[in-house]
Amino acid sequence: MLFRVLAKIAANTAALWVAAAYITGFALTGGISSFIIGGAVLAAVNLIVRPILKFITLPFLVLTLGAFYIIIFIVLLLIADFFLTELTITGFSALIWGALIIGITNTIVK
């Protein structure tokens, strides 16, 4: 269990770094500690909020054949943005691309 949590933190840290490096409008200021804290916050949000959102939106997930997951990842990223003062997302396209990168990373690690 501890290994899975640490793997999720590491994967989210890497996803945040990739998003901050390659997406215009997605910025995480600070050093490596900001990325690690951001990865931990995203891992916590994924472990706590994601199952609740999946249960609530189950009919939409079935109707869209899983495409509604992008909306779930957008909501998770917005929650993380609320808690992380170092994270700045400007523009809807940066939010979508950041959610895709983080969502794909979390799906692979899961």
pLDDT of residue 109: 84
What is the Cα–Cα distance from 12 to 19, expressed in whole angstroms?
10
66 band by pLDDT with thresholds 50, 70 and 90: confident
21-43 pLDDT tens trace: 999 999 998 889 999 999 999 99
Burial of 19 (0-12, 13-18, 19+ CB in 10 A): buried
Share of the chain above pLDDT 70, in %: 100
What pTM, to 2 d.p., does this model score? 0.88
104 is written with which tokens? 């794909």
